[in-house]
A and B are shown apart, each in its own frame.
Chain A
């Protein structure tokens, strides 16, 4: 019930469908109130036009068409719903059994489903009804259900198979649950949306099939349904008499009923499969003063390659904005390897994607600037951005199964990045692709492979090769090796390190694995609750972490050597980023917090020793001025 309400609230289309369905149901239920006449009474004049006594006129036999329409709704809906129910029951039972029992049972059911899917439904229905003529409404319902169950069964089987391998089903099996309970208490409730969708689809099929059979004169034409109404209209030549409404009204009702079913389905799908669409647009920038402050005078002698200043970014949700990145200032020098570390949800990925304008909606940049070699990325229009991307900076995403297009050869996907930026000569493309593959340690013949022929580690090497294709000055890497095994991870990291030293590129490397970062980075920034709380040269951060959070994070990795002693994690969880945090975000979890200070004021990040800055009152009393007011 709660699920239904959510669907209605989130999907106007589904709400409209439910409304339409309810209206048609009411038509059927309230038929005696809506018309004074019996649908079968032939007491009126024939071929009367709509209006007056007879809202939709009368038939060739003198029946009231409006009465037929509202009473006809009853049997039409009954056939639709019953056939839908029977077909859904068959489909659900078979789909679930196939998924639960697997093996031969699954194979047999799958073949059965495939057979019924391609067997043309209506012709089969027609000959079946021709032989079973005179069986009445119930035989029609049965025949429709028997020809229409396979579609729902197919979808349900594939979803149930996925569900069967979900850990919570496995966990229920391990805890000793019996098959019936696993099917009905664990799996079935999680398939409710799908089963409902299947029901509405088959109900639509049933209504259309009944209408078709009736129209061909194969059903029980003495009963009043929307289908038989059209049969009689056609048989009596309604259109030749110009009585188009006799045909139009029942057909329109069927189409509306079908639309209602389909809209409900559409809504269920919209709500149960929410998708992050990778939009064409660049990340929206809501910065207020578009006249960006003139580039601040370069403080450090080597001008930073990437300068992020007072960047605030996050997500616009129906519940209000979530500030995942809060007033972050960070810079990357040419050739530098900057590590960005923090727990999941601390905003490290949002920061990287916002600064490079790759954050998908509902992500937005609230304020701040991100300058790459002096150019403000947040001020560029999409076309300019597309030119800058990959040429000036590139990105390496987390190694996922689908990071490469499954239907294109690797070669084409290496080429197209270069072609998009003006390299057109086949010879140059080929030479560069080979060079890149040698650089990241893959055999050249993999250029001809398709992505599914590569292991996860190889795919990630390809992605890195593509990222280096145009020799960008900056490569942003978001957890590039997290999904990989340790040995492959280490091999790839060594290659990244060698490449960046050879080419002199800067790297921003995002990960939750601090121990890995210490080994690789020149400098490390620690993020917590959307803020950079500490920043220092890697080895200094490792030797002398200052922020209590950094200290505890360092202690959270058990060592490979030394005494085996008990260590503690960090109790508690970070504050919600949907709220304002006008105090130290870590104070609730901090064992050293100063009551009356840390929970009242927000510490400013201050350079306490050369190149080592920290935002903590234990190290500096500086209070941070809030740059933004609550929206």
Chain B
């Protein structure tokens, strides 16, 4: 098995074949070989075992599964209100005044039909009350979650794709290609993100982008500026792995470049990529909600967690009196980001080859 490794088979695979060979040996022998007391496990299983041993990762997993079920199954179960449906049942408000004189008393009643039932208290009709436009907070929480989670997944996929390809090219080919890509990285890292998004937001506004697609476009453009971290990570790993013996062997065996990259290099960078992607899912949700809070993200009337918190921006009255409107979306953001971070942390520990616990 040592030879196999040297000959350029990818280490993970080599280990697997070794495990299979040992197991076959055990069956053939009939008797107990040395491994009777040794549990044979594939690397994947070992990683999974380490992952599930950590309580934090399980907590994170539970948090996220609950959120996903809430957002995607929620609206099918609880469909009293739509995402952008205003509660027009309204309340008729009676204000009574004592009027008239001592001898001729009469009551004056002012009847105001409020039309829209806004800032309603939590009740059976509205589990979390209604917001400033009379829309059901609980329902918007579910639809907003769909949007926030979908967007962060798409954005992370896009940034990672760009980062992996460019970082891989830079690390593998080196020389002037590496130099050019890394300088582009440096330039992009010097650009301030939030002001940049403000400019792009106004440009999108001027071009009359439909409000359903607005946030997707904005996050897409944000991805074009934020792939630098991933590219650096991949480049660093590939620079290190390129010099390893098994890569030299792969080259000596005359394997084609795509085979060397995709079969031998990438699987060994994958652990770091996975951890970084999980962590950046959390930070993308934070980005999206911050943009929405600044009024740049999801456009009215559609909901996202960030835009639901926006009602308290510069409005101390709502901040003080209507926690049921702005609290739940904020808590949802924290749960989602925390869940991704817990899982990322657990994955990092589980995938760390130095750790053998």
- Do A and B actually bind? no
Residues of B within 8 A of A (CB): none
